[in-house]
Chain A
Amino acid sequence: MRGNRAHNEIERETGSGTDLWSVIIAPGIWAVHFLVCYVAAAIFCEKFGRDADLGGIRLTVIGATLIALLGIGWSTIRLWRVRGRSLTDDDFEYEHNTPEERHRFLSHVALMLCVLSAVAVLYVTIPMLYLTTCR
């Protein structure tokens, strides 16, 4: 997938860790978080009845949210460094024809996906703050 062996010099400046797989880390975390929350709650409510108190599940969801946000945060910091190293002017267009530019571009997209994923994770946690039972 990656591979710009011919451009070792540029690699040192910006790193080269960002490929298509690492772009989808943050939304992947969202997806796992979402599934964990939904599946845990659905099984809990089916097995313990509709009047069951959500207490345990709420902790699970909040825990999952914290872990997800930590993961996304870690990814964000990593990408922010790339941005700091490579974004010397206000060029958001990433139009140059070099592997370095490609790397900066993917890092930028990945960074914005981190933000979007964090928002989505928080959104999914909102209902948990209200509801107390499986009803």
Chain B
Amino acid sequence: MTVDKDAETAQLQRVWDNPKGWRALSDVNNSVIGLWYIATAFAFMLFGGVLALIIRVQLFVPDNTLISAELYNQTFTLHGTVMMFLFAVPIFEAVAILILPGMLGARDLPFPRLSAFGYWCYLIGGVFVCGSIFFNAAPDAGWFMYPPLSTEQSGIGADIWLLGLSFIEVASIAAAVELIVGVLKCRAPGMHINLTPLYGWYVLVVGAMILFAFPPLIAGDILFEMERLLGWPFFDVTRGGDPILWQHLFWIFGHPEVYIIFLPAIALLAMIVPTFAQRPITGYSWIVLSALGTGFLSFGLWVHHMFTTGLPSISLGFFSAASEAVAIPTGIQIFAFIATVMLGSVVRSVPMLFCLGALAVFIIGGLTGVMVAVAPFDFQVHDTYFIVAHLHYTLIGGMLFPVMAGICYYYPLIMGKPLSRKLGIWSFWLMFIGFNTAFLPMHLTGMLGMPRRVFTYGADRGWTELNMLSSVGAFVFAAGFLLLAWDCLRPKKREPQVKRNVWNAGTLEWAARYGDTWGMRSIPEVNSRYPLWDDPDFMRKIDAGEGLLADAQEGRRETLVTSTLDARPVQVLRVGGPDWLPMIAAIGLGAVFIFMTFKLWLLTAAGGVLFLVAVLRWLWVGTAEIPEKDSKHIGQGIVLPLYVSGTRSTGWWAMFITMTGDLTAFLALLFGYFFFWTIHPNFPPVGIEGPGWFWPLVAGLLMGLSWGSTLAARFVNGSGKPATARLLLVLGMLTAILGGLALMAGPWTTGLDPTSHAYPAIVWALVVWIVAHLATGVLMQGYCFARSLYKKMTPTYDADLWNVTLFWHFVGFCGVLCALVIGAFPLLT
């Protein structure tokens, strides 16, 4: 028996072993990708920090001529961009990819190759955006890139910003899909939704928020780039556009984004505080409520960034109200943490120190947030240093300090070595004092009338001393951060390895042994929120392999899929192992975005082909594989299928989630259409004819037909007639192609020129969006056709067709909606 166990462990080890040498780059395991992700995020953060220090040096004295206005503008634009897009959001994805599977008792995330793809997108895009400043070509219109300054007067920097970030947004959405499915479907058996670690709840909420927040920005980016590259005048007032549309689309993304950054960081506190209070969290359901409530309310705040754009007072009133309301759930979670501390007995430690610091700083940011939510007060302080102070208090108190706490807390788990307590305490106090010295005075600087984004100021303004203080504080802050970075990076060969579960925590991730990439020896049955506290025998049982799925008999990486609410085991999911394709796909996609920036169309196309080939091969070889047997024993007499399709499969959910985001982007484009209708007295404008009703009608019918044939193909295939299903798929492809042509025929035959006015431009934008989706849909139908032909998809094993049908539900809906809007709406007005 013992020999057996050893052999099994060796097998498990072999299967989950990380590739060595240069092949290490092909790794996809969450414990490796997560670490790369975190390291990259902090590297970008250091870069952004250096930019911040340059800003502070420039403002140290009045009338400083250290750097030119042009360089200063690039510096602050890149500082904001890097910190928001390359640090704050990715660090959430990074930490979640690293620790979430362990917390849920999963071996890996459901789509490890997708994580790897996301990581490479992020790395390539990030280096591209950051590198631009060394060529004096960085974006220079502020991190929210307001047109017309950014569309009409910026150089290539604006394109770099747009395309680079669009590319990184792809990574964020990939991570969101991965993490949502992870939380919903990959929890250990018995981990009912009410026993899920709070971190999982937060990840779920944030993942969902990403799906509704990022797509409007992607839609905005598309419009923006169409204006820059092709001259379609969405934001050009001389041709019927309006710069305010960009502000809406940007802030519909931008405000939820603040909470996308804040919630996962607070989630770390929700894991750390109970450990050091040595008791379960109090008010678990309160915290879940507040995470959900914040997630919703955060979508009703975007106009508070636009209070001074001259919108009607009544609009300001609505958004003022929602901005105040969001403070309620935020307050609830803070009080729940304090209550936990109150009821427990606190173990003093460095992570706890950072938690308390976070609380002190964040509450100030929250309270000034309540102040600026009052519109008349915002009229005064908007775009001043008061806002700069406010946003840094919320982001550093609400994100950086909690993340630092998380780093100190999880470092021993991930790296196996302790951090120095002494250095940690020093680092905390340097950062805390430095931060407050730098940013507390800025409230006053703003109140004294200093606008943000000024590269210089006169000595007679009375801002000199305050700015000097801020600059000094910034350097102290940086010193504190570097101290901690040094502590993390310094070689620790001599130090002893920390013991398992060093902080005596209660949650599942601490059951892992250092160095086990597969997480746990066996997947345990969980029946409490803090299994390590409630069952003293827990770790022994895992190590002895008494849990489920104790080894890797068939030599495949496997993890358990469970039901959404009650976590009953439903499937053994085979996840991908080391693979170069995600990286190659990311390089291909990166080439598309990068070469497009420089208008090198041939290379762009080559990148596109590389991307397409890599993705198709990845799908063809590595997904929906027909297993060698239907089901397998996972221990304790449980037999689970190895292949499921339809709503029970993780792939179906991934498609559903992705397409929800995609639908949001389409709705954002439709919002653009109706926005233009709102601001123009005549829409379509006098003298421009719409696309007519005939071609959109034909297109709608054809698209509906294609949608129907795909669905029919699924039914027919399921009832055992794959040949008929193939025929239906071909019909679907034909009708989709004709539908796309018919859709374009509308604006084409009536001669709508997209460069002439915003109306034709937005009609064409909608049409192009749908046609691109139809093309993807045709590709997918063809893919299923080929799969069926090569017997990789059969009446029983039909996950591909289920997922493609789901895609077509969304595309069919959007296509018909698009035809209705461009064809029928002009008849109504």
**B300:A34 contact, CB within 8 angstroms:** yes
Q: B289 contacts A38, CB within 8 Å?
A: no
Question: Given the complex, which residues of A lie within 8 Å of B322, measured CB to CB?
Answer: 34, 120, 123-124
A41 and B286 in contact, given A20-B564, A102-B566, A126-B317 (Cβ under 8 angstroms): no
Is A23 an interface residue, CB under 8 A from the partner?
A: yes
- Contacting pair B328 A99 (CB below 8 A): no
- Contact flags (1/0) for A98-117 with B, using CB distance below 8 Å? 11011001101100110011
B805 at the interface (CB under 8 A from A): no
* Interface presence of A54 (CB below 8 A): yes
Task: Find chain A residues with CB under 8 A from B319 CB.
Answer: 38
B292-319 toward A: CB 8 Å interface, digit per residue (1/0)? 1100110110010000000111111111
CB distance from A131 to the nearest CB of B (A): 5
Smallest CB–CB gap between B386 and chain A, Å? 23
Residue B679 lies at the interface, judged by CB distance under 8 Å to chain A: yes
**CB-CB contacts of A121-135 with B at 8 A, as 1s and 0s?**
001111110110011
Give every chain A residue within 8 A of B564 (Cβ-Cβ). Answer: 1, 20
A47 in contact (CB, < 8 A):
yes
Query: Is A94 a contact of B289 with CB atoms below 8 Å?
Result: no
A1 lies within 8 A of B325 (CB): no
Q: In the bound complex, do residue A2 and residue B312 qualify as a contact, i.e. CB atoms below 8 Å apart? A: no
B810 at the interface (CB under 8 A from A): no
Closest to B681 in A: A47
Closest to A3 in B: B563
Which residues of the other chain, B, contact A101 by a CB distance below 8 angstroms?
192, 194
**A30 with B565: CB separation less than 8 A:** no
A42–B296 touching, CB < 8 Å: no
Query: Least Cβ distance of B783 to chain A in Å?
Result: 29
- Residues in A with CB closer than 8 Å to B318 are 34, 37-38, 41, 124, 127
Closest partner residue, chain A, to B204 (CB atom) = A20
Count of residues in A whose CB is under 8 Å from the partner chain: 53
Are A128 and B314 touching (Cβ within 8 A)?
yes
Q: Decide: B300 and A31 in contact? CB cutoff 8 A.
A: yes
Report the count of interface residues on B (CB-CB < 8 A): 44
Number of A-B contacts (CB under 8 A): 142
Interface string of A10-46 (1 = CB under 8 A from B): 0000000001100110011011001001100111011
Check if B321 is an interface residue, CB within 8 A of chain A.
Answer: yes
Q: Is B325 in contact with A123, judged by CB distance below 8 angstroms?
A: yes
A50 CB-CB contact with B under 8 Å? yes
Question: In the bound complex, how far is the Cα of B190 from the Cα of A43, in angstroms?
Answer: 51
A92 lies within 8 A of B328 (CB): no
Closest to B300 in A: A34
Which residues of A are found within 8 Å of B527, using beta-carbon distances? 97
Chain A residues in 8 Å Cβ range of B528: 95, 97
Given the complex of chains A and B, what is the CA–CA distance between A63 and B383 in angstroms?
36
Q: CA A76 – CA B312 in complex, angstroms?
A: 34
- Does A46 contact B679, Cβ atoms closer than 8 Å? yes
The residues of B that contact A54 with a CB separation of less than 8 Å are 314
**Given the complex of chains A and B, what is the CA–CA distance between A24 and B299 in angstroms?**
14
Q: Are A127 and B317 in contact (CB under 8 A)?
A: yes
Task: Establish whether residues A92 and B315, one from each chain, have CB atoms under 8 Å apart when the complex forms.
Answer: no
Decide if B285 is an interface residue (CB 8 Å cutoff).
yes
Q: Does the CB pair B329–A134 fall under 8 Å?
A: no
Check B565 against A19 for contact (C-beta < 8 Å).
Answer: yes
- Which residues of B sit under 8 angstroms from A28, Cβ to Cβ? 296
Q: How far is the CA of A116 from the CA of B285 in the complex (A)?
A: 14
- Within the complex, which residue of A47, A116, A128, A135 is in contact with B328, where a contact is CB–CB below 8 Å? A116
Distance of A38 Cα from B328 Cα, bound (Å) = 21
Q: Do A43 and B678 touch across chains, with their CB atoms under 8 A apart?
A: yes
Residue A77 interfacial (CB < 8 Å): no
Smallest beta-carbon distance B653→chain A, Å? 11
Residues on B with C-beta less than 8 A from A27 are: 292-293, 296-297
Q: Which 5 pairs show the lowest CB-CB distances between chains A and B?
A: A127-B317, A105-B194, A97-B527, A27-B296, A123-B321
A sample of 16 more A-B contacts (CB under 8 A), given A41-B318, A99-B566, A109-B285, is A1-B564, A27-B296, A30-B300, A41-B312, A42-B312, A54-B314, A93-B285, A97-B192, A102-B193, A109-B292, A113-B292, A116-B329, A123-B321, A127-B320, A128-B314, A134-B313
16 examples of A-B residue contacts, CB within 8 angstroms: A1-B565, A2-B565, A27-B296, A28-B296, A31-B300, A41-B314, A41-B315, A42-B312, A42-B315, A45-B312, A93-B285, A95-B280, A97-B528, A112-B285, A113-B289, A123-B321
